[in-house]
Amino acid sequence: MDLTPAPFFADIAQGPDGGQAHWVTTSDGLRIRVGHWRPEGVSKGTLLLFPGRTEYIEKYGAAAKDMAKRGYATLAVDWRGQGLADRMLPERLLGHVVAFRDFQKDVEATVDLAERLALPKPWFVLGHSMGGAIGLRAVMAGLSVKACVFTAPMWGIQIPRALRPLARVLSSMGSRFGISAMRTPTTTLAPYVQASPFEGNSLTNDAQMYRLMQDQLEAQPDLSLGGPTVQWLGESLRECAALAAMPSPALPCITFLGTQEQIVNTAAIHDRMARWPGGELEMVECAQHEVLMEGPETRRMVFDKVARLFDQYCN
């Protein structure tokens, strides 16, 4: 089996022992990075973890440890344009994508690696934020998983009312006016956790987890990513609209949403889950966007519920 090792920063990931990463090449020739952890002993199955925008494999080391305690392997990916995957622009801190559905090419390459690694089946998927849109598209297209989980999925973007007209204009006319690679207004080149103090942040109420995110980027600056481009915004809005028009897949699903969510459009999540037969929307009290990076009690509740769902399909 021809596998190409990639850098993996176990010291900042703080995941289960034995974590590894590999390079894989997508069908359109980009190099992305895929990492994985296995639990000790026999695995019940594997979680395919689809991160959000700006994120990277090592951010989910703690989640992999929580899943390993419950008997599951975890795989995570650096999507194109972030982490150590190929960046899309000369200014590597700009979050950019040519077409949102290109992320499905990353999914295909990731699944191919999971097969080559013989990661234990059954497989499940968890999509966070932008990864929730990528994951929803993937399961709608027939991704071979037994159940799915989403945390604060980006099925719509929370845009301040005053900026909505500008967002529509920018997203629809960016190519015409040559501003597709321009950073969207109100964002910075600096990563959010480095530009914003813990007090008043919109990610987590847990100071220790916020510090962990800051420490990871300080230790490995190449993982950093700043604000998105006009092209990313336009593509994301169009993908959210396209997904909203499609029926929910016939797949067991739990979606976790913090009651203090400020980043994704909560109405779109309520709408989707209201028309997901057998799907469950779990409102997480006093949680913000990073449901998996809140305090210990919240994380324990979430991972216990995820494992109970998955355990039903591990016979």
> What's the number of domains the chain is made of?
1
- Give the model confidence (pLDDT) of 262-283 as tens digits: 999 999 999 999 999 999 999 9
> What is the model's pLDDT at position 159?
80
Compute the radius of gyration of the chain from its Cα atoms: 18
> What is the model's pLDDT at position 164?
59
Closest CA to 30 of 106, 122, 136: 106
- Give the model confidence (pLDDT) of 125-167 as tens digits: 999 999 999 999 999 999 999 999 999 999 999 886 656 566 6
Q: Which range among 51-60, 183-192, 242-251, 291-300 shows the weakest confidence by mean pLDDT?
A: 183-192
Domain of residue 212 covers 4-311
> What is the model's pLDDT at position 75?
98
CATH of the domain at 220: 3.40.50.1820
- Give the model confidence (pLDDT) of 278-313 as tens digits: 999 999 999 999 999 999 999 999 999 999 999 999
- Give the model confidence (pLDDT) of 96-136 as tens digits: 999 999 999 999 999 999 999 999 999 999 999 999 999 99
